[in-house]
Amino acid sequence: MSELYHLTLSEAREKLLDREISASELTAACLGRIERSEPEIRACLTVMAEQAVQTAAELDRRGPDPERPLWGLPLGLKDLYCTKGVRTTAASRMLENYVPAYDAHVVSKLKEAGAVLMCKTNLDEFAMGSSTEFSAFGLTRNPWDQSKIPGGSSGGAAASVAAYQTPGGLGTDTGGSIRQPAALCGCVGLKPTYGRVSRYGILAFASSLDQAGPLARRVRDVAWLLKVMAGPDDRDNTCSTRPAEDYPSAAPGKLKGLRLGLPQELWEARLDPDVAEVVKKAFAALEAAGAVLIPMAMPNLRYSVAAYYILATAEASTNLARFDGLRYGRRSEKPRDLTELYTASRSEALGPEVQRRILLGTFALSAGYYDAYYQQAARVRRLIRDDYFQALDRCDFLLAPVSSLPAWDFGRFAHDPVTVYQLDLMTLPVNLAGLPALSLPAGLGPRSGLPVGLQLIGRPFDEMNLLGAGLAFEEAFPPLL
Amino acid sequence: MSDLEAVIGLEIHCQLKTATKLFCSCQARSGDEPNSHICEVCSGQPGALPRLNGRALWLAAKAGLALGCQVQEVSIFSRKNYFYPDLPAGFQTSQLDPPVCLGGALSIGPEDDPLLIRLNRIHLEDDAGKCVHDEARGQTLVDLNRAGTPLIEIVTEPDLRSSAQTAEFLKKLHALLVHLEVTEGRLEEGEFRCDVNISLRPRGAAWFGTRCEIKNLNSFRHAAQAVAYEAVRQESLLAQGLEVSQETRLFDPVRQETRSLRSKEEAHDYRYFPQPDLPPVLISGEMLEKIRAEMPEPPEKVKARLKGLGLTDEQAERLLDRRRAAEYFDAARLALEEPKRLATLMVELLLPACQRAGLDPPDCRLAPRDLAALARLMADNTLSRRAAYEIFPELFEKGGDPAAVAAARGLLQVSDSGAIEALAAEAIAAHPEEAEKYRQGQEKILSFFVGQVMKKSRGAANPKLAGEVLAGLLNQ
């Protein structure tokens, strides 16, 4: 483990500031790692090698700057973040050659903070999926076992971090898209509170659920990334005006006396034996350390998958209306009329899962169905939120599985989209409630040898304490990477 | 139409007078190079998000207050989904429930017997871009400069009964919103346009017939003509025992008729739902107080005030019709306590000139105090009416002190009795026979001498004064 690319983000950060290593050296090491691992892992859709080398050289010329929290750190971006002048595809044929004219708010903040942007990572098309298999540009493999999926939709981001291509990366989480791939690849992943991070310039899937967040190999690392990502942005009216906090200064919490609520509706779901085994050990370890585990009934969680797939697809159906083949993106050749221009361009360029969700969402919003579906789902969402708030009144954090399965084989659910939707039960209620959640590695499954994760769910805008608790967990459950 | 009456409701789209668009900071102005005022937000680029222009909300609330609406503390933006090339995001951001204002009314007709036209609501929304059809090349081009421009849509209850009422209502609403500076209201730019819903029913019935909607009428005259045509068309259908089918129609001003655009079955399902990118819109009591404080005098009050100053009904209306004319008038009046003459100058000279130049009176080069000075020169006979009209175009074009301009052109009337006396004496000396005739009682000959003095002064002498001076000299 002597290679530079093995350094965690926090370790690399200190060495960079101490001038022990240069930004160019670290960038070169990571680029080399990308070059060697990509043929197998295929986490990246675009590698910005030339640009990264230039940025690093420029940073080195000026010297380390402690005022820039991510100075010299190589990072990956899920290919859903607009990057000025760099192709941004959302893993869709529709945007195969789309080059944004502007940077997402978060991307500008990373640049200001001195980060070196390395690659645009793979995802399920428009972030719709749980395995990254719906990317129009090919599979990403799980670095732990290349016959397995890396999770999704931020599968490229998680695989890239787990393959040591970069010390950290950015994903987005609409129903678990950061937490689940982080768990399946043995990373740490944070879904911040809705409104904690600006969504400006991130391709929208479901606007009221989408939230950008970091993935890395340590809790402190995601804290550094969040420090830069979080905070107000007047270009996103749903972004909170609360200033960001100094998350890396979060003090490790104490497991002794920590009250952890266990949502019964999730724990009673059928867990894969490997997952169950790791969890059992984890519970024992937590109790041994003095944590108090409190089973909690959250009855409305059982409706969360249904409610989520109505709300998320309804929003998605209109968010994706702009991909009409007119102003940018793929346009069908020689359509006979305007209607055919729309239908052919969209049918040719959008993948099966995206089309499925657009149809579902369009249906849910249609005249005569709106009350029965969208309105009803919106009411269920409020009940789920109430369940969470009541539960969080009775404990410090909620503790839940991230995925009922460890990373699975490619193609396993290819003909069974509904089962895959149901796998999201562990993660998506948190998005419905807008709460922050931290996905942490809990150990390796004894049979599969694959990572299993747990998530801590906190109160709105309480990322500081959530990260503190994460640090305590990290001591109890050693990092896998 | 003896036994049937038309039932008419309007949806008026009015462009708000803001510097920037509703959801981004692009300039809200039309007429420039196509696609020169666009950004990632108003051109529907991936990832871009809307941010509400507070000024637009302010103006919508202001219109609501002036129209007696209940301005809503909380209103919600919704997405109205449909595909069209001029709609970059694939949805319009509008308001469904609740909109920014509910209720309200505007009265038309004589002051002593007004007809109250109730409003249903006012909501905020963004405009679409424009498709330009290039027939020669068989192409359709899209200009997104207008995309994202802020509009309010004012929806009336079906309280109008005729084309005349429709036109009167639209004119009055337009004048009010222009007066409030809620809109520039340029009809030719489509800044104030309406859709008309019309149906027929037996006079006095309490139910509604099947209605048609006539889209996109951008002049008062066209609205009235469309209503008139449509009433006749529907009546003749009913007279033949046929049914009116619910549909959307377009008015063709050249052929003076409406034509079917799409039937009820072809109507869009807009799939409205709350716009998740925009939180609920809040209007505080404090904000409403501030808006009330900046509210100008309502037009009826301005009109009453102007008439109180001695202006005729027509003059007062002309000043109210032209945007910001009353403001100019009031500024000019500060420099001159003779409102009637000022009003005449404005109605006869300034307003037509502004109309031609496409300027609001306060924006023209001729300052209010200089127009007041012009009126004063006329009042004290220093400048003849003819001379005033002669120098006006130059004053309007370049501005400046009217006395100086008139003097430079030698048009000032000489009211200096010494100078006139010298000219008068000269004239009498040159025409001893005529002078004798005058003295013998032919007083009409005085006008001959006035003419001589005017000639010698090259028209600059004040003729009344010249007459007095001449009479004095001749009678000596």
Distances in Å between the Cα of B361 and the Cα atoms of B305, B324, B328 are 19, 7, 6
Q: Amino acid identity, residue A345?
A: S
Question: Could you tell me if A363 lies within 8 Å of chain B, comparing CB atoms?
Answer: no
| Nearest chain B CA: its distance from A318 CA (Å) | 7
A345 a catalytic residue: no
pLDDT band for position A350 (50/70/90)? very high
Strands (DSSP E) found in B210-275 = 212-217, 247-252, 257-263, 273-274
8 A C-beta contact, residue B328 and residue B361: yes
Query: In angstroms, rounded to a whole number, what is the distance separating the alpha carbons of residues A407 and A405?
Result: 6
pLDDT band for position A201 (50/70/90)? very high
Element (H, E) at B281: strand B281-282
8 A C-beta contact, residue A165 and residue A126: no
Beta bridge partners of B107: B116
A199: buried, middle or exposed (CB in 10 Å: 19+, 13-18, 0-12)? buried
Q: What Rg, from alpha-carbon coordinates, does chain B have? A: 30
Distance of CA B460 to the CA centre of its chain: 40
**Which ipTM value was assigned to this complex?**
0.96
Distances in Å between the Cα of B413 and the Cα atoms of A191, B35, B408, B427, B466 are 85, 56, 12, 18, 10
Contact residues, chain B, for A238 at CB < 8 Å: 49, 276-279
Task: End-to-end CA distance of chain B: give it in Å, rounded.
Answer: 80
> What own/partner pairs with CB < 8 Å and gap ≥ 24 does B283-290 have?
B283/B57, B283/B61, B283/B71, B283/B72, B283/B73, B283/B74, B283/B75, B283/B100, B284/B73, B287/B58, B287/B61, B288/B61, B288/B65, B288/B71
Question: Could you tell me if A389 lies within 8 Å of chain B, comparing CB atoms?
Answer: no
Beta-carbon separation of B273 and A328 below 8 A:
no
Beta-carbon separation of A237 and B50 below 8 A:
yes
Per-residue pLDDT, averaged over A102-108, amounts to: 98
Peptide bond into B253 cis (omega under 30): no
Of A82, A234, A362, the CB nearest to B46: A82
Q: What's the order of all strands across the beta sheet hosting B273-274?
A: B91-95, B77-81, B273-274
Q: What is the pLDDT of residue B298?
A: 81
Nearest to A329 by CA among A143, A126, A60, A188: A126
Q: What is the pLDDT of residue B320?
A: 84
Nearest to A121 by CA among A69, A72, A175, A177: A177
Contact residues, chain A, for B44 at CB < 8 Å: 322, 327
Element (H, E) at B239: helix B220-239
Q: What is the total count of domains within chain A?
A: 1
Q: pLDDT tens across B406-464, in order?
A: 888 877 777 677 778 888 888 888 888 888 888 888 888 888 888 888 887 777 777 88
In chain A, % of residues over pLDDT 90: 97
- Among A153-157, A249-253, A313-317, B134-138, the range scoring the smallest mean pLDDT is B134-138
Nearest to A241 by CA among A249, A230, A229, A226: A230
pLDDT band for position A1 (50/70/90)? very low
CB atoms near residue A293 (< 10 Å): 15
Q: Amino acid identity, residue B239?
A: A
For the record, the structure tokens of B210 come out as: 């099947």
Of A82, A236, A366, the CB nearest to B269: A366
8 A C-beta contact, residue B165 and residue B50: no
A153 a catalytic residue: yes
Q: Helix (H, G, I), strand (E, B), or coil: what is residue A31?
A: helix
Closest Cα in chain A to B80: A318
pLDDT at A377 over 60: yes
Element (H, E) at A214: strand A211-216
Q: What is the DSSP string of B166-201?
A: HHHHHHHHHHHHHHTTS----GGGTSEEEEEEEEEE
**Between A and B, how many CB-CB pairs are < 8 A?**
102
8 A C-beta contact, residue B212 and residue B244: yes
Phi, psi torsion values for B130, nearest 5 degrees: -130, 140
pLDDT in tens, chain B (476 residues): 458 999 999 999 999 999 999 999 999 987 799 999 999 999 999 999 999 999 999 999 999 999 999 999 999 999 999 999 999 999 999 999 999 999 999 999 987 899 999 999 999 999 999 999 988 888 899 999 999 999 999 999 999 999 999 999 999 999 999 989 999 999 989 999 999 999 999 998 999 999 999 999 999 999 999 999 999 999 999 999 999 999 999 999 899 999 999 888 788 899 999 999 999 999 999 999 999 999 988 888 888 888 888 899 889 888 887 878 888 998 888 887 778 889 999 999 999 999 888 888 999 999 999 999 898 888 877 888 888 888 999 999 998 889 888 888 877 777 677 778 888 888 888 888 888 888 888 888 888 888 888 887 777 777 888 888 888 888 87
Closest Cα in chain B to A316: B276
Query: In angstroms, rounded to a whole number, what is the distance separating the alpha carbons of residues A433 and A383?
Result: 9
Say which DSSP state B283 is in.
-
Beta-carbon separation of B47 and A82 below 8 A:
yes
Q: pLDDT tens across A43-82, in order?
A: 999 999 999 999 999 999 999 999 999 999 999 999 999 9
Of B40, B88, B277, the CB nearest to A237: B277
Residue-number span of the structural domain to which A218 is assigned: 1-481
8 A C-beta contact, residue A399 and residue A456: yes
Closest Cα in chain A to B143: A327
Q: Helix (H, G, I), strand (E, B), or coil: what is residue A452?
A: strand
Distances in Å between the Cα of B53 and the Cα atoms of B47, B185, B255 are 19, 19, 41
Distances in Å between the Cα of B38 and the Cα atoms of A267, B88, B191 are 51, 11, 19
Q: What is the pLDDT of residue B2?
A: 59
**Which residue has better confidence, A437 or A416?**
A437
> Residue A302's domain is classified under what CATH number?
3.90.1300.10
pLDDT band for position A287 (50/70/90)? very high
Distance of CA B14 to the CA centre of its chain: 13
- Active-site residue among A10, A131, A177, A403? A177
A448 a catalytic residue: no
| Residue-range domains of chain B with CATH | 4-286 (no CATH), 297-408 (no CATH), 417-474 (1.10.10)
